[in-house]
Amino acid sequence: SESFEKPVFVMNYPRDIKAFYMKEHPERPELVKCADLIAPEGYGEIIGGSQREEDYDKLLKNMKDFGLSEDDYGWYLDLRKYGSVPHSGFGMGLERFVAWVCGIPHVREAIPFPRMLYRIYP
């Protein structure tokens, strides 16, 4: 992100490097339907989101492909077992966003209650 002067969206990453719950791209099965917003000036990823896989059988296949245990993700599979709807989700790095907007050189200076080696409580 140091090469850009404005935020940039990067879309449709390779399936192998993203999470098992991301929906496969319909025209290119080696990709997933996702997007990350990368802030300029080296601040990195601000937002990461994707369409989620709603098909229970495809989720099971993805978990096997990624070597994940059904027991560890039973709670997640239960959410889809009896049907689901097309949906998406995202996460935002609020501290990175604040650091970028305010021009703070390091993200740790934008954390409201930082934890450090000798400071583990706010």
- The residue-averaged pLDDT of 102-107 equals 92
Residue 27 lies in a domain: yes
Mean residue pLDDT of the chain comes to: 92
- The residue-averaged pLDDT of 69-77 equals 93
Residue 117 lies in a domain: no
Residue 70 lies in a domain: no
Residue 66 lies in a domain: no
CB atoms within 10 A of CB 27: 7
Number of structural domains (the chain) is 1
- The residue-averaged pLDDT of 87-94 equals 95
- Residue 77 scores a pLDDT above 80: yes
| DSSP one-letter code for 45 | E
CB atoms within 10 A of CB 59: 23
Domain that holds residue 101: 8-52+86-110
Residue 43 lies in a domain: yes
- The residue-averaged pLDDT of 51-58 equals 95
15 touches 33 (CB < 8 A)? no
Residue 119 lies in a domain: no
Residue type, position 112, single letter: P
Three-state DSSP state, 51: strand
Cα 69 to Cα 47: distance, rounded to the nearest angstrom: 28
pTM (global) more than 0.95: no
- What pLDDT shows up at residue 25? 97
- Residue 122 scores a pLDDT above 70: no
- The residue-averaged pLDDT of 50-67 equals 95
Residue 80 lies in a domain: no
Cα 118 to Cα 81: distance, rounded to the nearest angstrom: 45
The pLDDT confidence band at residue 115, using thresholds 50, 70 and 90, is: confident
- Residue 54 scores a pLDDT above 80: yes
- The residue-averaged pLDDT of 62-85 equals 92
- The residue-averaged pLDDT of 54-74 equals 94
Residue 118 lies in a domain: no
| Unique residue bearing structure tokens 């000036």 | 41
- What pLDDT shows up at residue 30? 97
Query: What separation in angstroms does the CA of 91 have from each of 35, 45, 114, 121?
Result: 11, 10, 20, 25
